[in-house]
Copies of this chain bind each other. A is one copy, B any other.
Amino acid sequence: MQGDDDIPGIGQYDDFHTIDWQRDIARDRMRHRYIVKKRQDSIWDLIKGAHDAWSGWVCVLLVGVATGMVAGVIDIGASWMTDLKFGICPAAFWFNREQCCWSDTNTTFDSGNCSQWLTWPQVFGDRGDGAGAYIISYLFYIVWALLFAALSASLVRMFAPYACGSGIPEIKTILSGFIIRGYLGKWTLIIKVVGLILSVSSGLSLGKEGPMVHIASCLGNILSYLFPKYGRNEAKKREILSAAAAAGVSVAFGAPIGGVLFSLEEVSYYFPLKTLWRSFFCALIAAFILRSINPFGNEHSVLFFVEYNKPWIFFELIPFVGLGIIGGCIATIFIKANIYWCRYRKYSKLGQYPVTEVLVVTLVTAIIAYPNPYTRMNTSELIYLLFNQCGISNSDPLCDYNRNFTDANSAIEKAAAGPGVHRAIWLLVLALILKLVMTIFTFGIKVPCGLFIPSLALGAIAGRIVGIGVEQLAYHYPKIWLFSGECSTGDDCITPGLYAMVGAAAVLGGVTRMTVSLVVIMFELTGGVRYIVPLMAAAMASKWVGDALGRQGIYDAHIALNGYPFLDSKDEFQHTSLAADVMQPKRNETLSVITQDSMTVDDVETLLKETEHNGYPVVVSKESQYLVGFVLRRDLNLAIANARRTMEGIIGQSVVIFAGAVNPPAGAPPCLHLNRILDMAPITVTDQTPMETVVDMFRKLGLRQTLVTHNGRLLGVITKKDVLRHVKQMDNEDPSSVLFN
């Protein structure tokens, strides 16, 4: 391993290959020791040493700042273009509705209308509320939606196919040690940002939170090239990417701690504790920058800031757990249907017309969504509305209770639901069905699209409906023993908004199978420890129901669908097979090996031509098969080509020497010494090692392959692909769906 930097290209990886963590970490330590040693030589080396020591912090600082700024741009852009579907600010067309109304000093935003902002019918002179105005609005809504969606899909198709989707499955795979060139590149970044603004504005049932993780990871990848320590070492680069993923969630929800836990729990694979602190720093900086830009225009740095004035009551745990079960069921329906549809798209003609598909989905969504006010509005606004409790100033039909607001200071009394609430519930049921169906068809189309927000919306709708149900039950039957304690005083004891939040957590938990990070994100959204217990109860119920009905979360399902080589660190290997059952070659095949000092260059080149392995074990002799080391195909190719080019006398008959100092007999061509590319410390296991231990070693040590021996003799090789295929086979799935090595 000492000669890594002598021959150009050695130590790099090919596209769609798995990295070797141990090797990369060893390379980094060597580089570090070299810098430490040189530090005494001169002031310049001392500065270089200091720069190297600080580069990790500087890099995550830059990533945090960049992520915060990009998130601000996306928030502002998406908000302006979303409002553009409804109208325009003639005084300054680049203002969104809220800013437009602010510039008009005398109206408040809450009243819902301001004179500065013109809806499209108003622009065309129709200031009434009649059918004509409605049709003009409807048409403009559809046309803008189609325009945005078409633009987004075309940009993605033309410039950066990797920019579509949420990106989280791929980022999970990349962080687990896989190379996908260009997935985190600058074109993907630019197109993802622009496409995301467009697709969010088009009113499709998608969110910008998942893609934000992808965008942050792109920024992390691009900025890591400023620091060779990270840019040129794939294992070290993943430390920056983990931090970037945390920053992405941090800006998406305004939840830095939740972001770090998300990165730790859901996305990251190799997460040394040193990285935890840096990820936290990165997430915090990103949130701080975003808050300074202040796209939400308020004091709070979070997406949905809610405050309830009532604590929850112990018996409410029953409906909360019920909501968890409902959430788990909704999530399972969604995952199964979405995977079914994505598989159909993948293997049918549909996959060849991505832009057409986007346009059709957009058109259907726009036509169905507009008439229902709850689907017409921005999904974030809908969630915010559902999370809120009904106050005096809230004029939405959802808050149409038969109440008597004579004394504004007293506690809100219990009240019967008015006709507005009944109508709102029906509209919400429709919205739930529509959103569920549209999201199934939307997640996976070729525009940037996330599903945190649609999942939250589904859960919030279900939760609000359940919440109103429980509230009315408590109003009409206050004598039931459940309600008799706290609900008999006449005060309002049930907060439907809290149910919406719990439901939202349940569906999101069921879809993504997040646990701690989900609860922490929801807790950071509300800013109070008080509601952690309900959130946790619902998230647990939802996860259990989800796990019982279908094993995988949406991201893992998409990883399996795409055949990425991802070895889940949360799944336990349950079977009794031994290393001998899994290793290649199987019986009756021979293992391709190289001997340490008896093969010629021609022999080696023939072997390289005839086989396609990524690496070859080096043994003492073909007869004894005692293991000496391991050499990579790529290194071997490069080293032989390099030797033929630069060293004199190396011909096909030269003997290749990997270990020991053998002198060639007189008259023979000089030997080719390749001990520098030989890994003398390959990880080995015995053939009797249980596969659970082998899987554990692959996960924890980040191996690419391990060699199998018996009493010191080499028997075979197990690669990561072999392990993944074996896991699939044991789970009765198709092992050939593992595509890459």
Contacts and interface: CB of A to CB of B under 8 A. Distances in A.
Interface of A: 22, 25-26, 29, 32-33, 256-257, 260, 264-265, 272-274, 276-277, 280-281, 284, 287-288, 301, 515-516, 519-520, 523-524, 527-529, 532-533, 536, 540, 569-570, 572, 574, 576, 579, 620, 626-629, 680-686, 688-690, 692-693, 696-697, 700-701, 709, 711-713
Contacts of A277: 515-516
Contacts of A627: 711-712
A693 B22 contact: yes
Given A515-B277, A688-B680, A574 B256 contact: no
Interface-centre pick from A277, A533, A629 (highest chain B CB count, 10 A): A277
A22 B696 contact: yes
Interface-centre pick from A524, A620, A700 (highest chain B CB count, 10 A): A700
A519 B280 contact: yes
Given A26-B690, A532-B284, A696-B22, A576 B265 contact: no
A529 B711 contact: no
A434 B536 CA distance: 45
A685 B681 contact: yes
Nearest 4 A/B pairs, CB to CB? A712-B712, A680-B688, A681-B689, A626-B712
Count identical subunits in the complex.
2
Nearest to A711: B626
A301 B528 CA distance: 11
Contacts of A620: 711
Contacts of A579: 681
A287 B530 CA distance: 11
A691 to B, nearest CB: 10
Name A's interface SS: helix
Given A276-B265, A277-B515, A692-B26, A529 B256 contact: yes
A291 to B, nearest CB: 9
A29 B680 contact: no
A29 B540 CA distance: 24
A66 to B, nearest CB: 18
B29 A692 contact: yes
A274 B519 contact: no
28 contacts: A22-B696, A25-B696, A26-B693, A32-B574, A33-B576, A256-B529, A257-B523, A273-B569, A274-B570, A276-B515, A280-B516, A280-B519, A281-B536, A281-B540, A284-B532, A524-B529, A527-B528, A626-B711, A627-B711, A629-B686, A680-B686, A680-B688, A680-B689, A681-B686, A681-B693, A700-B700, A700-B701, A712-B713
A553 to B, nearest CB: 13
B681 A284 contact: no
B533 A288 contact: yes
A284 B686 contact: no
Contacts of A281: 536, 540
Nearest to A519: B280
Nearest to A302: B529
Given A288-B533, A700-B700, A712-B713, 7 more contacts: A26-B690, A33-B574, A281-B540, A620-B711, A627-B712, A684-B686, A697-B701
A524 B574 CA distance: 39
Contacts of A569: 273
Contacts of A260: 516
Contact of A701 (B273, B574, B696): B696
A217 B218 CA distance: 43
A301 to B, nearest CB: 6
Contacts of A570: 272-274
Contacts of A516: 260, 276-277, 280
A527 B529 contact: yes
A523 B523 CA distance: 13
A94 to B, nearest CB: 29
Nearest to A516: B280
Nearest to A314: B292
Contacts of A288: 533
A693 B713 CA distance: 23
A284 B527 contact: no
Contacts of A532: 256, 284
A571 to B, nearest CB: 10
A689 B542 CA distance: 46
A526 to B, nearest CB: 11
